[in-house]
């Protein structure tokens, strides 16, 4: 999703190649590539305005002659093989940070590992870094924030039948009014154990401010939060972080994680006539009509985030609109078996008018068109 978003913004993302050279070509840059991992000469090249070169990091310990001290090195990566407590194959030699095999290449992780190592050596403690719950973010224009197990790792370690995946496509509140196309790639996922109390193993989100969001949830994962505790928390509305708390659709169900989206086609605007004699602006007598449209998504009960319908009869659609439905309406919707054409027409009419229109049908029963709240 992050890569798709970059590509839509005109970024050419290139995989599986190393940069051989970069040369100036006027005001642009000419890049020549070699294939990776074979590292054979590749005749391809490209002309670019700006280059972001994701080259990674290599350990620099060649002049230490570690093998003479009995320290084992992972040959493909050049990194030092360590145990959980950062000890190398030589008892009194430790390695922390990027130089150690299997450690995240993150500065805060290395700092924490060094602090805990000093406490173990000089303070008599035995605490080590929990590398399972290291939060991190890819700071692309649309951020990716992640902490804990990925879905793939959880399935591999616990088995697919023991894992539950909750997920949601969503529209961040600050994308609603401008109808930002980036919302098409916003996505959140919770990985947890399937059996009660469904301990959460990982949380992941693609969207604005993902770093700020995932930092707080990393604390929750460190103290063993369960899915029941997550959804029992009161959400802050409106904010992007509430997507985790409102999550209710599982991958196992086969239902679409995309909620019904009601977006403004045209904002209400009032035209003003010229100033009057006292310098005041007066509205024109014919303001533009408020128009709204339904998204192409089908109106299905599973795609609608329910409010407290027992007390209020509200269905909250995409966190931005509410439509009041009476008990009979809700019963019909729940039993509609996916046939949503009637409801689309009814709700669309309500959105376009925003008024209640009562008329008697042939049986004498009044039909009440629902009003947008």
How far does CA 192 lie from the centroid of its chain?
16
Q: And the tokens for 15?
A: 């995989």
Closest CA to 18 of 27, 31, 29, 5: 31
**Eight-state DSSP code of residue 131:** G
Q: What CA–CA distance (Å, rounded) separates 138 from 1?
A: 12
CA–CA dist 313, 268 (Å, integer): 27
- Of 61, 167, 204, 237, the catalytic one is 237
Q: Is 247 helix (H, G, I), strand (E, B) or coil?
A: coil
DSSP line for 54-83: --------GGG-GGGGT--EETTTTEEP--
Q: What whole-number distance in Å separates Cα of residue 311 and Cα of residue 315?
A: 12
The answer to whether 271 is a known catalytic residue is no
Beta strands in 170-310 (DSSP E): 187-193, 200-207, 262-266, 291-294, 305-306
Report which of 98, 3, 99 is spatially closest to residue 52, judged by C-alpha positions.
3
Residues 186/142, Cβ–Cβ less than 8 Å? yes
Other Cβ atoms within 10 Å of 279 Cβ, number = 6
- Encoded tokens for 330: 């809700």
Give just the sign of the alpha carbon dihedral 166, 9, 172, 258. Answer: negative
The answer to whether the beta carbons of residues 354 and 372 sit under 8 Å apart is: yes
Map residue 19 onto helix, strand or coil.
strand
Q: Alpha carbon of 8 to those of 5, 16, 64, 230: distances in Å?
A: 5, 21, 47, 34
266 three-state secondary structure: strand
The set of catalytic residues is 237
């Amino acid at each position: 999703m992050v890569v798709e978003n970059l590509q839509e913004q005109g970024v050419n993302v290139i995989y599986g190649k190393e940069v051989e050279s970069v040369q100036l070509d006027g005001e642009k840059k000419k890049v020549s590539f070699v294939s990776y991992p074979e590292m054979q000469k590749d005749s391809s090249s490209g002309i670019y305005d700006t280059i972001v070169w994701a080259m990674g990091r290599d350990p620099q310990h060649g002049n230490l002659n570690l093998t003479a001290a009995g320290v084992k090195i992972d040959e493909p990566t050049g990194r030092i093989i360590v145990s959980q407590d950062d000890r190398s194959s030589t008892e009194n030699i430790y390695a922390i940070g990027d130089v150690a095999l299997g450690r995240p290449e993150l500065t805060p992780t290395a700092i924490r590992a060094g602090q805990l190592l000093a406490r173990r050596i000089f303070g008599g403690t035995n605490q080590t870094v929990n590398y399972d719950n290291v939060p991190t973010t890819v700071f692309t224009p649309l951020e990716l924030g992640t902490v804990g197990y990925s879905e793939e790792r959880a399935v591999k370690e616990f088995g697919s039948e023991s894992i539950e995946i909750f997920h949601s496509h969503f529209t961040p509140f600050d994308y609603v009014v401008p109808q930002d196309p980036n919302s098409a790639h916003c996505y959140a996922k919770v990985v947890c154990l399937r059996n009660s109390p469904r301990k959460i193993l990982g949380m992941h989100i693609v969207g604005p401010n993902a770093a700020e969001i995932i930092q707080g949830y990393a604390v929750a994962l460190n103290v063993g939060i369960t899915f029941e505790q997550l959804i029992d928390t009161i959400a802050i509305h409106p904010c992007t972080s509430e997507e985790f708390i409102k999550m209710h659709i599982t991958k196992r169900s086969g239902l679409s994680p995309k909620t019904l989206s009601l977006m403004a086609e045209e904002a209400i605007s009032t035209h003003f006539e010229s100033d009057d004699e006292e310098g005041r602006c007066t509205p024109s007598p014919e303001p533009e009509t408020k128009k709204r449209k339904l998204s192409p998504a089908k109106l299905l009960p599973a795609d609608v985030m329910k409010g407290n319908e027992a007390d209020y009869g509200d269905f909250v659609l995409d966190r931005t609109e509410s439509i009041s439905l009476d008990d009979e309406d809700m019963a019909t919707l729940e039993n509609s078996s996916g046939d949503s054409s009637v409801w689309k027409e009814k709700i669309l009419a309500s959105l376009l008018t925003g008024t209640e229109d009562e008329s008697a049908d042939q049986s004498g029963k009044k039909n009440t068109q629902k009003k947008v709240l």
